[in-house]
Amino acid sequence: MNAPSGDDEPAKLPTRPPTIKDVAERAQVSPMTASRVLAGGPNVRPQMRRRVEHAASELGYRRNENARSLRPGHKSGLIGVTITNIANPYYAEMQGGIEEIAAKANRRIIVGNSNEDPDLERQLVADFIGRRVEGLIVVPADPTHADHLAPESLGGSPIVFASRSVPGLDVDTVLIDDLGGAYEATSRLLDEGHRQIAFLGTRTSVLTGQRRLQGYRNAHRDHNVPVYEHLVRTGQQEAVGAERALTELLAHEIPPTAVFSANNRNTVGAIRAIARIRSTRTSETPAIRLIGFDWFEFADLSPVPLSVVAHDPRELGRRTAQMLLDRIDGARGGLAAETVELPVYLQLTPEGPK
């Protein structure tokens, strides 16, 4: 037994965090009264309130949220987030947007990196559900292996997809306007008179990559300009690959006069390739026009002229989180799944994101 409340020594050897019973004992009240005080409940004499608060602060008491969330009606206050690559600045910014909205709604985010691996993703989601998250935000790793993301296998937790969609599933999704952005960029190049426009993109198994390629094709179709298939290079996941691909193309007998790079990594590779070519064959080579998907901090510093299709990952995160919270609060209870496409901005002289 502890000494009575006259005992003032700090006694700092908490092998185990103090419980509400410890607080109650020290304050000489019942656990119920202590609970009422600490939950800010009504009908407590100020004297009791002070006694309990004092005891709690002396012991360094923290309410155990896990135990609390066990009681019926209580939620965990957690939102599970799986991202294919946390370290990617794009998703980092998106995560920032999610956190911003979640924090406003007094929720925390619990984050896992799926590393583009659907199995890892499945484990993460299972873990999150085990922790009774109130909802899930997922950047789906692989749309063809996404059974574990189907609403019926989630035990009722709402889910929203961010940045990528999964065709077969009826799930709220927030995308950016890949098709429109690619269309607009390519159209711009065509309007400028270019007829040999290289496409540099990722694997087309990533839906985003597929849609951007589609926008490129659609623009050609609508301008009645044929696509030179040899100028379409997909599968570059990293900058080095893109650099190599474009270097090859520039050596081709029908070289591109302009390049549309479908993401950040490909844009970097394209810049390097163009800069290198230009330093070898000096002024006689005509300038290569470049438009890249994804905004990019140093566009104004690029050694080759660069326009970008900009969009706002933070806003993507915000919208996704808000959509999820609306589902959680039941604000959009019965409504069917919705897909939102965020706008993109063709920036001819980039100045930074919105």
Partner DNA sequence: CGAGCAATTGGTAACGATACCAAACATTAG
Partner DNA sequence: CTAATGTTTGGTATCGTTACCAATTGCTCG
Note whether 108 binds a copy of itself by CB under 8 A. Answer: yes
Touching a copy of itself, residues 284-323 (CB under 8 A): 297-298, 300-303, 314
Nearest 5°: the CA angle 62, 65, 321 is 125
Over the window 82 to 101, marking each residue x when it contacts a copy of itself by CB under 8 A and - when it does not, the resulting string is ---xxxxx-xxx-xxx-xx-
Name 161's bridge partners: 138, 173
Find out whether 124 and 117 touch, Cβ atoms under 8 Å: no
Q: Which is nearer to a copy of itself, 109 or 225 (CB)?
A: 109
Tokens 């193309």 appear where?
A: 249
**Cα–Cα nearest to 234, from 263, 274, 196, 255:** 263
For 119, the token pair is 């199995």
Candidate residues 30, 153, 205, 349; the one interacting with DNA per rule CB under 7 A? 30
186 binds, among a copy of itself, DNA, none (CB under 5 to 8 A by kind): none
Site string for DNA, 67-106 (x = CB under 7 A): xx-xxxx---------------------------------
Q: Which of residues 33-62 bind DNA (CB under 7 A)?
A: 33, 35-36, 38-39, 41-45, 47-48, 62
In the complex, minimum distance from the CB of residue 193 to a copy of itself, in angstroms, rounded to a whole number: 27
Structure tokens at 165: 């969609």
Whole-number minimum distance, CB 45 to a copy of itself, in Å? 26
The least CB distance from residue 1 to DNA, in Å, is: 14
Residues whose CB falls within 8 Å of the CB of residue 83, separated by 6 or more in sequence, listed in order: 91, 94, 95, 111, 112, 113, 114, 139
Compute φ and ψ for 307, nearest 5 degrees.
-110, 160
* Separation of alpha carbons 83 and 93, rounded Å: 12
Binding positions for DNA, rule: CB under 7 A: 16-17, 19-21, 29-33, 35-36, 38-39, 41-45, 47-48, 62-64, 67-68, 70-73
